[in-house]
Amino acid sequence: MEIAYVAVIILFCLGMYTIITKKNLIKIVIGITIVESSLILLLMLVGYKPGGTAPILDKRYEIVVDPITQALALTTIVIGGSVTAVMLAMVIKLHKRYRTLNIDEIRKLRG
Amino acid sequence: MELAVWVIILPLLTAFSLGISKLYFKKIFFKLVIGSAILYLYLLILVITTSYPPKVYSIGQWGLLGINLMVDPLSALFLLIIALLFLPFIIFSMKYTKCIKHDYFIFSYLMVAGISGMVLTTDLFNLYVFMEVSSLSSCALSLYKKTDRGIEGTFKYLIMSTFGSFFILLATILTYYLTGTLNMAEISLAFEDTPFTIKSTIMAFFVFGYAIKIGLLPMHAWLPDAYEDSPIPYNVLSSGLVMKSAVYALIRGLYIMFGIDFLDESGLLTIVVFWGVITFITAHCLAFQQSNLNRLLAYSTIAQIAYIMIGLFVGTEAGLIAGSFHILNHAIMKGTLFFVVGIFNYSLAAVEIEDIKGLGYKFPILSFTFVVGSLAIVGLPPFNGFMSKWLIVEAALEAGFTYAAFFILVGTFLSLTYYLKVIVTLYTKNEKPLLIEEAGLSLKLPTIFLGSLCIVFGIVPSLPLHLITKIPTFLLDNGDYIRILIGG
Amino acid sequence: MITPGILYLTGALLLFLPFQDKIKYIISFLIATGALIVTFYLIPGDRMQMEFFTLTLTPFSVDSISKLTGLIFAFGGLATVIYMIKICSPAKLRLIFVFIGSALTVVFSGDLFTLYVFWELMTISSSFLIIMTIDLTKKTGYYYFLMHVAGSLSLLWGIFLQYSATGSLSLHAIEAGVPFFLMAIAVKLAFVGFHTWMPWVYSKAPFYVAVVLSIYTTKVGVYVMARVVSGIHILAYAGLISALFGIVMALRQNEVRKLLSYSIITQVGYMIIGISIGTAAGISGAIFHLVNHILYKTVLFMAVGFVIYTTGKDDFKNLGIIRRKLPLTSIATLVAFMGISGVPFFNGYMSKTIIKDALHEPILKLGLDLMSFGTSLMFLKFIYYAFFNKSNINFAKKPPFSMQIGMGFLTVMMLLIGIHPYLLENLTNIHVDIHYFDIKHVVSGFQPFLWSIAVFISFKKFLVKSYVNLPYFDIYRKMAKIFVTTGYKLSNYHDGNLNKYLLWATNALLILLLLLMF
């Protein structure tokens, strides 16, 4: 259990580091997905109970994991997917316009 | 019960049916857009009038487990802003967007659905989802012109906004982990015996996440970038609604879940007031440097929202009233200004301050509207901005934030410097012949409507204050809110 | 209740309606006359109260001081409206109406909120008047607006301090935030150091705008000062310094209207001294001086207006046309000159005598004599160019008759007050126990005037010449420069680097966490 939380923290920090320091647009988007997966992992962990099964309400199963977090995780995945899709679409457009993926060269907006 | 639900469903439904009609029934597309907007306006008015005393609507038969919607005066204020801005926005956009308009309207309906969801829901995760809906569609709208700068600005906006969303999501998950529920009322009850440090960490994540979307000082840089080359009617909704919805979510979350006592105890009130002061002084300094009208107005938005934050976070009843009033007023004033700039942009592709030189004599009524809007936003009497600023300063003084009150007046002076620059340019004679595409009535009407509201709310402030004065009841004493929510 | 201020403001709204120009002129004339009549029949003690969101306001209350001020404001309004009815376009007339209306409302306001709102409205309308009319440079309007808004914000802050200290907004001598009130008033009445807007604006603006501005802007400041901060003795010396500064600067000017504006600073010095004495006699002297000053200064501005209208420029040389071609203006100018120099049997003498009588400190008395001397000295320069200097300037345009009527009104009023000083006292029931025409007063009234003539004749060649402009130093511009450079540096940090923006955000998060957790 604890090790999973450590994994969440590591993933989160790794993703943040990627977003903040990397210059490549694709890498920034990758960083964002990493952070997002870490959060989904956290959601799963929050609802997890040792030995629990899928949240099916039936008398045969005594321990079930929290169904709400599962629903939330699904929603988060959907949102994350759409955000990533929009971002990638924009990266393609930016690459077409600016002929580069380096964020340092995409700097027409100043002031 | 159905009415409040329809506030969210109607724009969603319209967005989808617009998508279908774009594919199969192109002829009825614009009729659908307008018709739905008018229907929506009617619906909003119905909901706003029944907002006091607050009502809770449970969706499905789940009770507190499921999603609950609640209309209280604060939500009603935001619905009122939607009501005031949305129809003018639609009418203006009909003419303004010259090429493909279909996607534009679909996204704007989606955005409004997201915002109305945000202001009605009482569920923390639901809030997050609706916020993502509105910010994604807002990105799509800001991208609409598909110019280099537009795409670049939107990309930065999206990255920053997602960055903020992560922290909001993180805070939401942690809250759920600690309390086992997502209903704000139950969270508030469960939070009572949570250790101070954990609570304040969660609060810090919330504040930080929303602060990015609000554009407080070091996180403000995306905002002018996103505004610079986006369709101007979108800017009206963005500064009037999208950013305000983040403010809404923040104060709703903080005041209901954590409670005013905790905010005071943890020092957040002091921090945010100080933060707001720094933000608006810096934003005013930066706005003076801008030569692009959109950027100038964007920086001014940052500053105005900082005023709102100060009002909302002095932590008294008067402060909440003042801040909420300024939310409404800022939406109106900024709407007026952006609409006028939009018409200038439409008529002669003006983007820089230099481009509008001499237009004061060409468009007398519109320029007058611009002058009214800018004087209102500067905070000079007898316009509405003055009334809310008066209230904010009074509240800040009352709560002991004398420095904030003083700097608000300094900020008023600084904001005059750049708005006056624009006005003076507007009334400078220009010898150059101008190529003007005549602006139709559908562009002028929304502009003049909002402009006249600036004067009306300035002279008769009791009109909106009638609604606004009820807001603090359900925020300062979160017990009332919780009782209503749990009881319903 | 119909108040004169509201009458003017409705007039401004009426002028928005699409009437013909002729009807608009008739409307504006009727409104100005109506306001004068309404003001005349106001009874001291009238009040009006209303509720305005959380405040209880008294937007209208009359006492003898405000009635007198209102009367002269309405009278000046009528005269100026007649004066410029032919020259001025309806759009500008609207702004002028808003300006006059708000000035009158300020005078009759009974609480600080109304006072502030209409004070600011005066600023706004007059600034737009300047911005819309000056074609050469808009900087003047920009500067004027910023300066006055800075002043009125200072007033607002003072009001807030007073409100939070006492919990009441009623207009009487204030208790808290005096420095802020003083600063606001100083900007409005062009106290030395805060005066920089005045010579600039009054010499750049079209002459009819300058006429209107000169009537109301500074005088409202004086009126409000009499209301809220009367009786601070030290200010009398400040007023003296301001007045002497005005004299020195006025003697150095090459433009007529700059001379006139610096002379306003001097005249306002009298009123400051009168108000700062604090006694009833002092304050009523100051207000009487305000009345007289409006009369003669407006006539002088109007006379210069004639010169500008007929010859196109306001050089000293062009003043010669007054003697050559404008007989009525010559009379008016002479009467105004006598008035402003405080010669007995002309109107300025009356109020100057009251103020002098109310004074007890010898330094101030001496200063007052010096001020009278300086004033008549600087206007001798004016008179010299108008009547004794040979010039061959000719008409470019003939002035319309309406201008002359407007000026004539004021001149007749001046003569009346000069010959029968009790007129003003009887009109408003403010009685000052002074025998104006006994030997002592008359002699002391004549003295500075005669001295100044002697000095002028003997030092003519130093006084009548064109001066080199002083090196221009303006502290407000320096402050503006700091603001601009700071903004420029800040704006350079926003170089579009996304990583940087994200780094800022992360730092903000860390700071926030640190602050909130501990």
- The tens digit of pLDDT for each residue in C180-214 reads 999 999 998 888 888 888 888 888 888 888 888 88
Q: Where is C49: in which H helix or E strand? A: strand C47-52
Q: Where is C452: in which H helix or E strand? A: helix C439-458
pLDDT in tens, B177-193: 888 888 888 888 888 88
Number of H helices, E strands in chain C: 22, 2
Q: Identify the band that residue B64 occupies on the pLDDT scale cut at 50, 70 and 90.
A: low
Q: What is the CA radius of gyration of chain A?
A: 19
Q: Identify the band that residue C437 occupies on the pLDDT scale cut at 50, 70 and 90.
A: confident
Q: Identify the band that residue C384 occupies on the pLDDT scale cut at 50, 70 and 90.
A: confident
CA distance C186 to C166: 24
Cα separation values, B54 from B245, B471, C20, C336, C340, Å: 19, 10, 55, 70, 69
CA distance B466 to B421: 36
Q: Does B182 touch chain A (CB under 8 A)?
A: yes
CB atoms B211 and C491 under 8 Å: no
CA distance B32 to B26: 10
Question: What does residue B145 show for φ and ψ, rounded to 5 degrees?
Answer: -75, -20
Q: In a mutagenesis test of the C interface, which of A12, A16, A20, A27 is the best target, namely the one with the most C β-carbons within 10 Å?
A: A20
pLDDT in tens, C223-261: 998 888 887 888 888 889 999 998 888 888 888 888 888
CA distance B139 to C281: 70
| Residue B459 pLDDT > 70 | yes
B369 Cβ partners below 8 Å, 6+ apart?
B336, B340, B447, B448, B451
- The DSSP call for residue C467 is P
CA distance C131 to C139: 8
Give the closest residue to C87 by CA, choosing from C401, C352, C466.
C401
Give the per-residue pLDDT at C284: 85
Q: Scan for tokens 């009458």, then name that residue.
A: C7
Q: Which of A34-38, C137-141, C166-170, C438-442 has the lowest mean pLDDT?
A: C137-141
CB atoms C506 and A109 under 8 Å: no
CB atoms B173 and A87 under 8 Å: no
Helix boundaries (H) for C342-438: 347-358, 362-383, 401-419, 422-428
**Residue ranges of domains in chain C:** 230-465, 475-517
Q: Identify the band that residue B488 occupies on the pLDDT scale cut at 50, 70 and 90.
A: low
| Residue C137 pLDDT > 70 | no
Provide ipTM, 2 decimals.
0.95
* Gap from C102 CA to chain B (nearest CA, Å): 11
Closest chain C residue by Cα to residue A110: C495
Averaged pLDDT for residues B402-414: 92
Cα separation values, C290 from B364, C76, C155, C444, Å: 38, 12, 22, 21
Closest chain A residue by Cα to residue C492: A111
| Residue B1 pLDDT > 60 | no
SS3 A24: strand
CB atoms A46 and B286 under 8 Å: no
Mean per-residue pLDDT over chain C, rounded:
85
CB atoms within 10 A of CB C157: 23
Give the per-residue pLDDT at B175: 92
Q: Does B465 touch chain C (CB under 8 A)?
A: yes
Closest chain C residue by Cα to residue B154: C498
Give the closest residue to C456 by CA, choosing from C387, C385, C384, C386.
C384
Give the per-residue pLDDT at B99: 63
CB atoms within 10 A of CB C35: 29
Q: Does A110 touch chain C (CB under 8 A)?
A: yes
| Residue B485 pLDDT > 60 | yes
CB atoms C494 and A23 under 8 Å: no
- HSE-CB of A46 using CA atoms within 13 angstroms: 25
B128 Cβ partners below 8 Å, 6+ apart?
B165, B168, B169, B172
Q: Does B211 touch chain C (CB under 8 A)?
A: yes
Q: Scan for tokens 């997966």, then name that residue.
A: A37
Contact residues, chain B, for C150 at CB < 8 Å: 413
pTM beyond 0.90: yes
Q: Does B30 touch chain C (CB under 8 A)?
A: no
Averaged pLDDT for residues C310-328: 79
**Residue ranges of domains in chain B:** 267-470
B269 Cβ partners below 8 Å, 6+ apart?
B263, B313, B314, B315
Q: Which residues pair with C57 in a beta bridge?
A: C50
Query: Going from the N-terminus, what domains does chain A have, and what CATH number goes with each?
Result: 2-105 (1.10.287.3510)
Closest chain A residue by Cα to residue C489: A111
CA distance C312 to C396: 7
Q: Which residues pair with C60 in a beta bridge?
A: C48
CA distance C362 to C378: 24
CA distance B327 to B457: 13
Given a contact cutoff of 8 angstroms between Cβ atoms, the answer to whether B248 and B74 are in contact is yes
Q: Does A39 touch chain B (CB under 8 A)?
A: yes
Q: Would strands C47-52 and B68-71 be described as parallel, antiparallel, or unpaired?
A: unpaired
Cα separation values, B367 from B298, B357, C66, Å: 19, 11, 37
Q: Identify the band that residue C51 occupies on the pLDDT scale cut at 50, 70 and 90.
A: confident
Given a contact cutoff of 8 angstroms between Cβ atoms, the answer to whether C273 and C364 are in contact is yes
Q: Where is B70: in which H helix or E strand? A: strand B68-71
Q: Does B156 touch chain C (CB under 8 A)?
A: yes
Give the per-residue pLDDT at B460: 87
Closest chain C residue by Cα to residue B387: C53
| Residue A13 pLDDT > 90 | yes
Averaged pLDDT for residues B83-97: 89
Retrieve residue B146's tokens: 């598909």
Contact residues, chain B, for A19 at CB < 8 Å: 159, 163
Given a contact cutoff of 8 angstroms between Cβ atoms, the answer to whether C441 and C435 are in contact is yes
Give the per-residue pLDDT at C192: 85
Contact residues, chain A, for B225 at CB < 8 Å: 109
Cβ-nearest to C491 among B222, B286, B461: B286
SS3 B55: strand
CB atoms A110 and C494 under 8 Å: yes
* Gap from C499 CA to chain A (nearest CA, Å): 5
Q: Which amino acid is at B468?
A: I
pLDDT in tens, B29-51: 888 888 999 999 999 998 888 87
Q: Which amino acid is at A89?
A: A
Given a contact cutoff of 8 angstroms between Cβ atoms, the answer to whether C69 and C290 are in contact is yes
* Gap from A93 CA to chain B (nearest CA, Å): 8
Averaged pLDDT for residues C129-152: 84
Chains that touch B (3 or more CB pairs under 8 A): A, C
B387 Cβ partners below 8 Å, 6+ apart?
B325, B329, B457, B458, B461, C53
Provide, rounded to the nearest whole percent, the portion of chain B with pLDDT above 70.
98
Q: Does A75 touch chain B (CB under 8 A)?
A: yes
Give the per-residue pLDDT at C477: 87
| Residue B115 pLDDT > 90 | yes
Q: Where is B154: in which H helix or E strand? A: helix B148-179
Q: Does A93 touch chain B (CB under 8 A)?
A: yes
CA distance B15 to B31: 13
| Residue C119 pLDDT > 70 | yes
Q: Which amino acid is at C370?
A: L
